[in-house]
A and B are shown apart, each in its own frame.
Chain A
Amino acid sequence: MDEEEAYAHVRNTLKEERMMPFSTSEMEVVRSVGQCINCGTCLNHCPVTRAVGVERFTGPRGIAVELSRSPPEYWSSTDRIYLCTGCGTCREVCPKNVDIPNVVNLMRRRIFSQRPDLVPQSLHQQNEILRKHNLAFVPWDDPDEKAESRNMRLERLDLPFIKDKIRKGAEVLFYPGCQAEERAQEVREAAKIILERFNVDYTLVEKMTCCSLPAILVGDMEKSIELSTILKKQIDDLGVKKIVTTCAGCTSNLNEIAARNNWEIPVYHILEFLVEDIGVHEVSKALSPMDDHTVRVTVHDPCHLIRHTSRRVLEYAHRLLNAIPDVEVVESSAHDLCCGGGGLVGRHSPDVSRVIVKENIRAIKETSAERIVTPCPLCTAQIEESLFRDGSDIEVDDLTVFIAQSFEGG
């Protein structure tokens, strides 16, 4: 019996007692909470506390202090655990790096399994979609309509269409994630254009399935394990050596799963792949001016890249942008603030999500940028919608699309 099976066994025997033991990786998270010194540094930075106040969201300190002062067996407080976006800001500023985002996931897991009635309805609805389709969104009914939507997007962006490739034994798996598969199809297409351009030996998956992050956020452990298992089987069948994605959430989630389960297959965001495997110099040879004038852009840093993966990924973004002729990057004072789109908060408390993103919008408008780019289709959607609601005419682009657009000869 390996460790995971042993854990599943113990968990089953305790099910009737309504107890859920901690797995080995969860124990690490639990221990980090014990380090909390109640200093409140996290409170100064949590985007949700900033938006709605301590009274509505006690914030990371509330979660850490209450939890660190009672044995884990007694953690009952669901204290608005569903308002946490999982941005990781608290963990990054905390002197003790208390792992609040994972504490929140761990608690959501227990609530889902012990008291599903306390899980917000909207999260159950999200989960139904996952259970039914193995995707975060209801997929297109008609493949022709999906293709038509894709073509319209490509036409608007003046990007060519490249046929999908599914090839066993390819070097690289390009994994687009649900958002780019079902909604922002231009991101998926742009990545293919980039990979083709540099003659990368890549493949797509036979059948797109979710990376499991939404299931983790809902707290449905069974479903999340099932989804990552399905994906792993596809990866094994294809025999790829590395995975490249265009989504910040997929990058950090797949990295976490790969590390935990010893996949021994590295997972990169496409920005990392471009800088580390292709090289900025090589990429810059393919780039040409975007427009007949200098394009001023500002960048939004996705939490799942900077705080869950590494801040260096966004350094890479800047290196690539600087390599595009006639692109000038201006910094927004809120470039690394959470946009409120994570943790499924936008699903069940859209009001909170909308207040959080206000700060980003204010700062973006303060720059002289005519475009904002971000290396994640989910952040792109959240910011695009908010800017639109705000009546702003600043254009929003996924960074992968922006790079593909700046290739010489279209």
Chain B
Amino acid sequence: MDADYDIVVIGGGLAGLTAGISAAQMNANTLVVRKGEGATSLSSGALDIAGYLRGGETPFLTPEEGVAALAHVYPFHPYSVLESIPSLGLKEIVSWLKDILAGSPSAMIGSHDTTTMALTILGTKKPTCLVQRTMHTTRLDNTDETLLFAGIKGLADFNPSTASKALMESVIAGETGPHKIVHTLLECSPFRQPSNISPVELARYIETEDGLDRIIKELQHCTEQTGTTLIALPPILGLVNPIEIKKRIEEETGTEIFELLSFPPSVPGYRLQRSLEASLKKAGGTLLVGHEAVSFKKQEGKIIDITLKSPRRTFNTHPKSVILATGKFVGGGLAGNRTGLRETVFDLPVLDGTRQSVQDVRPSHLTRVVPLHKEGHPLFECGIGFDTRFRPIDVKGDIFASNLFAAGSVLCGYNYPVEKSGLGVALVTGRICGVHAAENVTGGN
């Protein structure tokens, strides 16, 4: 049976959810549909906006400065559109997101005019903009703190000894940081076995009285022996109420604790995904999980029909506006094979960072020989082209459909792994598309 919505958002990562929340807040009847989870729930849960110029080593002083620089140096960068929309500036967008997430498990701290240097589980620092409250600390630059890297026996992702060595080396090399750094391995396994534990298991365990007691006891013991004042933990402080758990542990140990940035599978990424989904519902939007956009109909320059498919059912929607937020290679918005790259829903042309077609370029030719190259791999800059309202362009360079908008990593023109701009571009473009699409529906207001 068909269903009618003003706006259909294809993709439920940060870009799609931001777009969906924005549109729903403007009273558009909005559906966000996703076939799976994407890069958003794999991310560290810290929202990068702009860290570096490609190839650069000095982080931008502020995300705002970074956004301006990236827009200036790369005229096709999604951030370059911001200039033409004074009503939706970076400042507005960042504080909008903070409002949306306030009170949720992934409540965010930070602002558009400060670069935060967040500590990773490798003991290195990374420039970012917003971090979840549980990942926040202001005391990392105090030289007189004693910092404890606390790992968990059986959690293979995090080796506290290597992390403390790495941080110590940077302090010795002249960076500001605590002069005393210690490390330990806690025994705190949910199923009593000391091996093969996943972060999410620990996060759930810590949410039980038993789990919380155990980690507190272990930490108390260790902080007494070492005089620890600041504790760095892997991101495991719970899925539902991490902020209370952080407070409890801090009270009981008399220290400040914070979570490190980590790899997937990611607990903060899980929290971010779920918090955004809850916000969509609160704003009056509908989330439809487990459905894939498989085909569309276009008439007189407009998308008039999107077909959605679940394992055993197929139905049509007739939206007034459509937002494409299907992500890149993880999310599934772009796919590659031996012959080239393609966009998966509308078969839009895929372009590189300079807007040349890569439709027939073998994806391996878009990577460099060295896996970790400062300039990054050109492959990550590939995506679909867009106009100043984020409407995708077709092979001839014309607008593909007047009511189709695109947001997030399906777009071309930026290189998030080296720029450190991943979730930031998804946020900015998602917010702008959501507002534009809603205006398109309500006839502008």
B56 within 8 A of A: no
Residue A94 contacts which of B36, B197, B200, B311 (CB distance < 8 angstroms)? B36
CB pair B200 A55 closer than 8 Å: no
- Interface size (A, Cβ < 8 Å)? 34
Q: B292: which A residues are within 8 A, CB to CB?
A: 97
Asked if A52 meets B191 with Cβ closer than 8 Å, knowing A39-B330, A95-B331, A308-B311, the reply is yes
**Chain A min CB distance to B252 (Å):** 25
**Chain B min CB distance to A65 (Å):** 12
Residue A44 contacts which of B35, B193, B200 (CB distance < 8 angstroms)? B200
Residue B290 contacts which of A37, A56, A92, A275 (CB distance < 8 angstroms)? A92
CB pair B36 A312 closer than 8 Å: no
CB pair A41 B42 closer than 8 Å: yes
A252 within 8 A of B: yes
How many Å lie between the Cα of A311 and that of B313 in the bound state?
9
Q: A93: which B residues are within 8 A, CB to CB?
A: 36-37, 41
How many Å lie between the Cα of A252 and that of B290 in the bound state?
15
Residue A40 contacts which of B3, B38, B197, B198 (CB distance < 8 angstroms)? B198
How many Å lie between the Cα of A255 and that of B312 in the bound state?
7
How many Å lie between the Cα of A52 and that of B205 in the bound state?
12
Q: A92: which B residues are within 8 A, CB to CB?
A: 36, 289-290
Residue B315 contacts which of A37, A256, A259, A312 (CB distance < 8 angstroms)? A312
CB pair B1 A276 closer than 8 Å: yes
The residues in A between 62 and 98 inclusive whose CB is less than 8 angstroms from any CB of B are 88, 92-97
A353 within 8 A of B: no
Residue A37 contacts which of B3, B37, B313, B330 (CB distance < 8 angstroms)? B330
Q: A96: which B residues are within 8 A, CB to CB?
A: 36, 332
Q: A306: which B residues are within 8 A, CB to CB?
A: 290
**Chain A min CB distance to B148 (Å):** 26
Asked if A259 meets B312 with Cβ closer than 8 Å, knowing A52-B191, A93-B36, A97-B35, the reply is yes
Q: A97: which B residues are within 8 A, CB to CB?
A: 35-36, 292
CB pair A43 B265 closer than 8 Å: yes
Residue B312 contacts which of A44, A275, A276, A309 (CB distance < 8 angstroms)? A309
The residues in B between 29 and 46 inclusive whose CB is less than 8 angstroms from any CB of A are 35-39, 41-42
B250 within 8 A of A: no
CB pair A55 B191 closer than 8 Å: yes
The residues in B between 377 and 413 inclusive whose CB is less than 8 angstroms from any CB of A are none
Residue A307 contacts which of B42, B288, B311 (CB distance < 8 angstroms)? B311
**Chain B min CB distance to A56 (Å):** 7
Q: A255: which B residues are within 8 A, CB to CB?
A: 312
**Chain B min CB distance to A107 (Å):** 20
**Chain A min CB distance to B105 (Å):** 13
CB pair A252 B312 closer than 8 Å: yes
Residue A311 contacts which of B195, B288, B331 (CB distance < 8 angstroms)? B288
How many Å lie between the Cα of A50 and that of B197 in the bound state?
11
**Chain B min CB distance to A355 (Å):** 11
CB pair A41 B41 closer than 8 Å: yes
Interface centre among B195, B196, B265, B291 (most CB of A within 10 A): B265
How many Å lie between the Cα of A283 and that of B370 in the bound state?
65
A53 within 8 A of B: yes
B337 within 8 A of A: no
Asked if A53 meets B193 with Cβ closer than 8 Å, knowing A95-B331, A252-B312, A312-B313, the reply is yes
| A258 nearest CB neighbor, chain B only | B312
A8 within 8 A of B: no
The residues in A between 83 and 135 inclusive whose CB is less than 8 angstroms from any CB of B are 88, 92-97
How many Å lie between the Cα of A311 and that of B308 in the bound state?
12
Interface centre among B37, B288, B289, B291 (most CB of A within 10 A): B37
**Chain B min CB distance to A135 (Å):** 24
**Chain B min CB distance to A291 (Å):** 29
Q: B313: which A residues are within 8 A, CB to CB?
A: 309-310, 312-313
| A52 nearest CB neighbor, chain B only | B191
How many Å lie between the Cα of A306 and that of B311 in the bound state?
9
Q: B145: which A residues are within 8 A, CB to CB?
A: none
**Chain A min CB distance to B143 (Å):** 37
**Chain B min CB distance to A100 (Å):** 13
| B288 nearest CB neighbor, chain A only | A311
The residues in A between 294 and 345 inclusive whose CB is less than 8 angstroms from any CB of B are 306-313
Asked if A308 meets B312 with Cβ closer than 8 Å, knowing A41-B265, A44-B270, A95-B330, the reply is yes
CB pair B312 A39 closer than 8 Å: no
CB pair B290 A311 closer than 8 Å: yes
Q: A276: which B residues are within 8 A, CB to CB?
A: 1
B310 within 8 A of A: yes
How many Å lie between the Cα of A309 and that of B310 in the bound state?
7
A54 within 8 A of B: yes
A49 within 8 A of B: yes
Interface centre among A40, A41, A56, A256 (most CB of B within 10 A): A41
CB pair A309 B265 closer than 8 Å: no
B340 within 8 A of A: no
**Chain B min CB distance to A369 (Å):** 19
The digit string for B1-24, where 1 denotes a CB below 8 A from any CB of A, is 101000000000000000000000
How many Å lie between the Cα of A252 and that of B41 in the bound state?
29
The residues in B between 250 and 272 inclusive whose CB is less than 8 angstroms from any CB of A are 264-265, 267, 270
**Chain B min CB distance to A250 (Å):** 12
CB pair B201 A54 closer than 8 Å: yes
**Chain B min CB distance to A41 (Å):** 5
Q: What would 18 more interface pairs be, CB under 8 Å, given A52-B191, A308-B312? A: A39-B42, A39-B264, A41-B265, A43-B198, A44-B41, A53-B190, A92-B290, A93-B36, A93-B41, A252-B311, A252-B312, A306-B290, A307-B290, A307-B311, A309-B311, A309-B313, A310-B290, A311-B288
- Show 11 A/B contacts (Cβ-Cβ < 8 Å), sorted by A: A37-B330, A40-B198, A41-B36, A53-B197, A95-B37, A95-B332, A275-B1, A310-B312, A311-B288, A312-B313, A312-B315
| B residues with CB within 8 A of A | 1, 3, 35-39, 41-42, 190-191, 193, 195-198, 200-201, 204, 264-265, 267, 270, 288-292, 310-313, 315, 330-332
